[in-house]
Amino acid sequence: DHLMQQTNFSKKELQILYRGFKSECPSGAVNEETFKNIYSQFFPQGGQSDSLCLSEGSSSVCFSSLLFSTFVRNVYFVFSADSSMYAHFLFEAFDTKNNGSISFEDFVMGLSIILRGSITDKLNWAFNLYDLNKDGCITKEEMTDIMRSIYDMMGKYTYPCMKDSAPKEHADNFFRKMDKNNDGVVTIEEFLETCQKDENIMQSMHMFDNVI
């Protein structure tokens, strides 16, 4: 009942999610190493960036790439990819208590925002993901690190081919759009304002609306 009040999931949906979570994490909590191992299953030697689902059999891991398609769309993974750094950033976004583990409550609270939250809720969650040191603003270095982790996750052999300079170019483009007062950081207000005016980002916010 508590989680039904705190999330946008029904009792039945929570039961399905809990069974999936417990099957992957019998202890009831996920540490970062386990999280990375689970997450890496979605980025093997080939795949598609938008092939996400949330079914009874895989419901503990399919929250994977909410904003992946926001900046890198229609790209196919080929050969080996390293998802460990992006998984690290995701883990920190879900680990809201900063205790080194993700409980079922942590998981469904975050998942509820990603799947059922308002646009503002989803954008706030995304901002928190990008704000690596959680100081309330995004620096160009933080955005470059995020973009590099996405590039690593995709692998260096992609179609269309991405240059080594792609992560920095994406970060520079991000700041040109969002750093309205050119002070070198992006605040939550700048982030929300820019995202809400960007048609592609707004479309990506709805990509999981009918997952479950």
Q: Are residues 36 and 84 in the same domain?
A: yes
Higher per-residue confidence, 11 vs 41: 11
**Does the residue 83 lie in any domain?**
yes
pLDDT digits (tens, 9 = 90+) for 163-192: 778 888 888 999 999 999 999 999 999 999
Q: Are residues 111 and 148 in the same domain?
A: no
Domain final position from 93, 117, 141: 117
Q: Are residues 140 and 178 in the same domain?
A: yes
Q: Are residues 32 and 111 in the same domain?
A: yes
Q: Are residues 91 and 155 in the same domain?
A: no
**Does the residue 90 lie in any domain?**
yes
**Does the residue 54 lie in any domain?**
no
pLDDT digits (tens, 9 = 90+) for 123-132: 999 999 999 9
Q: Are residues 147 and 190 in the same domain?
A: yes
**Does the residue 33 lie in any domain?**
yes
Structure tokens, 205? 């916010």
39 Cβ neighbours under 8 A, 6+ residues apart: 61, 64, 83, 86, 87, 90
Rounded Cα gap, residues 86 and 70, in angstroms: 15
18 Cβ neighbours under 8 A, 6+ residues apart: 104
Band (161; pLDDT cuts 50, 70, 90): low
What's the chain's length in residues?
212
Strands 29-31 and 46-48: unpaired
Over residues 66-85, mean pLDDT: 44
Q: Are residues 66 and 134 in the same domain?
A: no
Higher per-residue confidence, 109 vs 24: 109
Domain count, the chain: 2
194 pLDDT higher than 80: yes
Which residues form the domain of 83?
9-42+62-117
CATH no. for residue 142?
1.10.238.10
The model's pTM: 0.75
Residue 101's Cα: distance from chain center in Å? Answer: 17
Strands 158-159 and 76-78: antiparallel
Q: What is the pLDDT of residue 76?
A: 36
58 pLDDT higher than 60: no
Contact between 177 and 192 (Cβ < 8 Å)? no
